[in-house]
Each structure stands twice: as C-alpha cells, then as structure tokens.
Amino acid sequence: MTTPIQPVTSVAASAPIAWVALAAVGDTAFDVQRDQREGLDGVPDAEALTILQQLRGQSPAERNALVSALSEGQLCALRGLGPEGLSFGEQGELFDLLASSLDGYNLARVGAVYLHSAAASLWGDSLCRRASADTTLAFLKTWAPRIEAAPSSMEVAAVGGDTVSSAVSLLAAQALAGLANHTRQVDEVLQLLAPHPSEAGRLQSVVGAAQQMHVSVPACPWGGVTTVTCHPEPLLRLIDASACATSRCAKASVFEWSAQLLGKMAVGRSAVPGLVARQGINAALAQSLTRLVCSDTAGILGALETHHGGGHGLAAYVREMVHQGRTNELRVMTEQLRCSHDACEDPVRHFNQHDAQGRYRHAATLGYYVGAVQAACQVFSSEMAPWAHPLAAIFAGGLSGGQGMEGKLWLSGGAVRALQRVAASPPLALGAPIVERLTRALKAGPQDDAVTALVLPHAAEGAPVEKKEAAIACVAAMRRVINAHGL
C-alpha cells in the first residue's frame, strides 16, 4: 500500500537550502515497503556533498531536530546520499555525525533505513563507535521489539543467506559491542534481551547474527560446492563488552551461545558442511570467551550448570582450548572451582558447602566442569590416548611455560590471583602411571571414576573427605553433561 508523504515544512523553512531537496521527496506518493526492497534515488547526487558540509556545521541538537522532522519516506531518501552521491569516507563521516548526534529513537529510525543497504555494516560500525552509552541503551530499548522472531545464524544459513531478522539482530549486536566498560548499560541491555536465564529470548538471536554466517551456493546446480563463511568479529566485541556485566546468568548465556560456534568450527568435526572461517578465528573466539569466564569463573560456570546443564558450549570451548595448547588456563579454572574465584578458600570446606536451599552448588559446578572436559575428549576426538596428558594437566598438573608464563595466558581478574596459587602448589606426580590410568579410563568410557578421583578433595594421606551428599551432587552434574552428549 502506498502512503502519501506530506512535505515537511519545518525542514524546508528552517534548514539549509540543500535539505529542501530531501524534504521535497515528500511531495510524491511513497511506498516504504517497496523502497526497503528496491531502494530510492532520493537526493540528487549534486546535493549530497552540500548536505554533508551543512551537517558538519550544525550542533548535535540541530542534527537531531532535522532528522526528527523527516518522515519515514524522506529518511529513505536520505539513503540516496550514498554510495553514489558520497565517497566511502564521506559516507562514513555522515554516519559518524548522525550516530554521535541522534537520540535513541532517531537512531532506530535511521537504522531501519540502512538495514538492507550496502552501507548497513558501516552504519553499525558508526553506531558502535560514536553513540554514547546512554543513547545506545535508548536505541536498543527502541530496537529490541524487532528482534522477537529473529532466527539463529544456522537457520539463516539453512535458507540460503541473510534474512530481515538476522540484519535486525546484527545491528543490535554491533550496538551492544559499543557498550564495553559501561556496566550499568550492559546490565540493562542483557536483562532486556534475556530476562529469563533458562530461555533463549532475544539474546540468542543477537549472538547468532553476530556470527555472520553467509551461504554461497554454486552457480551451476550440477557442480561446485556450497560453502558457509563465518565472520564473527562483531561476536568477539560483543563478548568483550558482556564481560563487564554483573549478572552471572546473562554472562553464562552469552558464553553458551557463543561457545557453540566453536563446536561448529571444530577441527576435523565441523557441524556445518563447507563452513569456512578466516585463519585464527577459533583462537580469537576462545580468547574472548576466556576473558569473559575470568570475569567471574565460579559464578559463570555455576550459572551454566543451572541453566545450560547439557554443557555443549563448555565442552566445545574446552576442546578448542586443548587444541590451542591452553591447558594452563583450564588448570587455573579447575583451582578456582575447587577453592573459589580467587582460589583462597579451603577446598574441602568449599566443596562441602551448601546454600540456603540445601543444594551443593560448588560441588555440582565442579562436576559439571569435569563432565564437560570428559565430553570434549570423547565427542571431538576419535583417539583417546592423546587426551590423557591434557586431562592430567587440567586437573592435577603444574603450570608450564617457564619465565614470563603469566603474561602469555588469557587470564584476568581473580584468575590471576588463582594463577599464583596454582603456580605455588606442587603438582601431583604426572608420570606414566597416572597417564596410563587415564588412558584406560578414557577407553572404558566417561563414567569411569579415574578422572573424578583427580578432582574430588582428599586429605593429605589420600582418604576422601567430601560429604556424601556433595559427592552425589558432583557426580550427578558430571553425568548429566556426559549423557547430554550421548556418551
């Protein structure tokens, strides 16, 4: 249906002369839906640079007032400023001026205009870099209702490319990425996107779109290979921004849905035939996830155990960390789960502690972690023997790397203090007997007690000191993860 757009007299009367050409678009009947599909010529090319020059001389309030006065059809004409009318650099400058000047409502209006244009990514980048934290929060509050029906990245790939909803979610991801180190705003956004930790909500769609998966279908139906490319740079920035949040549940959800991408890209076991990612992206994603976990290791893993009990994201993460040779970081996490985030509590007391509801959360979280590590080696590797050494290093080893090792690890926050405890503690003997025992245990299956025995707290003479109830909670969480992987 076409919608008549009336001329905006406030723009024609008070704005610089070049804006008259933009406002004049309102004199004609205009179909917003058609324009979003086909584009609009909009402002003559000769006027484009003049409009940019005039925007440079205006205050943020004046720019916001001008955009407020434009109808939806005239905003679509604004899209006609580029790329033909402006160079790439000039269009980037235009976006920077708008992103740093508009309020949240107008950012959403402009975002809808550029959503499916060739400049969508450039607009998202300007929004990430130039909008203030409070304005970005206001934008996301206005934008969030559009995300409701957004599919995951894999659903997008399955139908052969981008969809409207994935573009909506990607812009939300880019905006959220710009809130790094703004704790209050990040907390509000994550609560808005995932109000219920056990439900996917909108956050899963945002994380999925940030993976930027695109399908390339061969031109000839009888030949060629269909490939799926992955460019998750927006996801890396989103993960880093989420690390400053205070909600353990929200951070756990970001971790779970982001880490599952590692399972899709796993070496030798891609869940997506033809999936291609640039070199080093697995390591970059694992590093971002490590920084996220280190912001509250015990808390985030505890929330994962409670709300994402299958451990699929954690198992994929562990597999990639072992592939990258990062068992030192995993060893520090083991110590944090044994002795609290700062690794300063007695491991026996910590393991046997229960909450007001009588639940042994620390024991369950440790078991969940052990189960994910075992699932990683069982699911992602057909050869068990090479996993015996990493398992021993993760659960009982010292730290390797020599002088300056601390600066090479992907650790931050309380994990750095935990690192000092691990470095000062003598490792268990990791000679042939323990490796052989673990090899036999891996071949026997993940239910073997050999791995669990490395983790449960023991007295100096080796006798177990854990409460029966705590040990049951630990083993139950471990087996839940193992069963979820079909092992």
- DSSP class of residue 464 equals B
Q: Virtual CA dihedral for 405, 411, 417, 419, nearest 10 degrees?
A: -40
Residue 139 CA to residue 135 CA, distance in Å, equals 6
d(CA 301, CA 287): 16
Is the Cβ–Cβ distance between 369 and 474 less than 8 Å? no
CA distance 209 to 231: 10
What's the distance, Cα to Cα, between the start and end of the chain in Å? 56
- Write down the pLDDT at residue 286: 93
Identify the pLDDT of residue 464.
Answer: 58
CA atoms of 338 and 345, how far apart (whole Å): 8
pLDDT at 81: 58
Q: Which helix (H) or strand (E) holds 3?
A: strand 3-4
Contact 253/266 with Cβ under 8 angstroms? no
Q: Report the pLDDT value the prediction gives residue 219, as an integer from 0 to 100.
A: 54
Cα separation, 150 vs 156, whole angstroms = 9
Question: Rounded to whole angstroms, how far apart are CA atoms 242 and 239?
Answer: 5
For the stretch 224-235, pLDDT in tens is 555 667 788 999
Instruction: Say how many CA atoms lie within 13 Å of 335 toward its Cβ.
Output: 29
Those residues whose C-beta lies under 8 Å from the C-beta of residue 249, and which sit 6 or more positions away, are 194, 197, 303, 306, 307
Alpha helices, DSSP H only, in 84-202?
88-99, 104-114, 120-130, 133-143, 153-158, 164-177, 183-193
CB within 8 Å of 341: residues ≥ 6 apart: 296, 297, 298, 299, 414, 415, 418
Strands of 186-312 (E only): list them: 213-216, 227-230, 275-277
Q: Please, is 107 exposed, middle or buried when counting C-beta atoms within 10 Å of its C-beta (0-12, 13-18, 19+)?
A: buried
Secondary structure letter of residue 150 according to DSSP:
P
- b/e per residue 307-333 (b: at least 16 CB within 10 A): bbbbbbbbbbbbbbbbbeebbbbbbbb
Strands of the sheet with 275-277, listed across from one edge: 213-216, 227-230, 275-277
Cα dihedral: 406, 408, 411, 413 (round 10): 50
**What residue has token string 């909670």?**
473
Q: Which residue has the tokens 């929004």?
A: 127
- The pLDDT score that the predictor gives to residue 406 is 67
Tell me the whole-structure pTM to 2 decimals: 0.83
> Which two structure tokens, joined as six digits, stand for 59?
């205050």
Within 13 Å and on the Cβ side, how many CA atoms surround 316? 25
List for the chain the helix, strand, coil content (%; round to 5): 65, 5, 35
DSSP codes joined into one string, 333-357: HHHHHHHTTTT-S-HHHHHH---TT
- Please tell me the distance from the alpha carbon of residue 481 to that of residue 487, in angstroms, as a whole number: 9
The interaxial angle of helices 385-396 and 361-380, nearest 10 deg, is 160
| Cα dihedral sign, 196-197-198-202 | positive
**Smallest Cα–Cα separation from 393: which of 368, 422, 372?**
422
Residue 214 backbone dihedrals phi, psi, to 5 degrees: -135, 135
Nearest to 32 by CA among 65, 75, 68, 82: 75
The model's pLDDT over 321-343, given as tens digits with 9 standing for 90+, comes to: 998 889 999 999 998 898 887 76
Profile the chain (487 residues) by mean pLDDT over runs of 10 residues. Answer: 38 47 46 39 57 83 88 72 67 92 95 85 94 97 80 45 70 96 96 82 88 64 61 92 95 93 64 61 92 94 94 94 90 88 78 89 94 82 67 76 69 78 64 62 63 69 70 91 88
3-state secondary structure of 458: strand
Token pair for 350: 């910590």
Whole-number pLDDT of residue 251: 95
